[in-house]
Amino acid sequence: MITAVVLITAERGALPNLGESLAAVKGVSEVYSVTGEIDFIAMVRAREHDELADIVTRRIAQVPGVAKTATHVAFKAYSRHDLEAMFAIGADRP
């Protein structure tokens, strides 16, 4: 599975509705509204690079209100949450 972080800049006036539109795109697992130079971060998961290219260039970039995207493909995931959950398997819980 390929994971990509897509940084999205919205067109003026698109902020109120763009997050929900992005979250509805097939292949987008999460969308965050953020502060700073960009407006949204979308987490994208795809089986292969061709599918990732389609999600970003044909689906996300074509959503009305998207002005610009920048895609960063993840090489490896490090998650404290996942590690804690793994070691908690079988542990007694109150």
Does 24 map to a domain?
yes
Q: What is the pLDDT of residue 80?
A: 66
Per-residue pLDDT tens digits for 52-92:
999 999 999 999 999 999 999 999 887 766 656 656 665 55
Residue 28 to residues 55, 57, 84, Cα–Cα distance (Å): 8, 13, 25
CATH number of the domain residue 50 falls in: 3.30.70.920
Does 15 map to a domain?
yes
Does 94 map to a domain?
no
> Based on the structure, what is the number of domains in the chain?
1
DSSP H or E run through 17: helix 15-23
Domain that includes residue 67, residue range: 2-87
Does 80 map to a domain?
yes
Per-residue pLDDT tens digits for 19-62:
999 999 999 999 999 999 999 999 999 999 999 999 999 999 99
Does 27 map to a domain?
yes
CA distance 43 to 30: 5
Task: Return the closest-CA partner of residue 42 out of 50, 26, 83.
Answer: 26
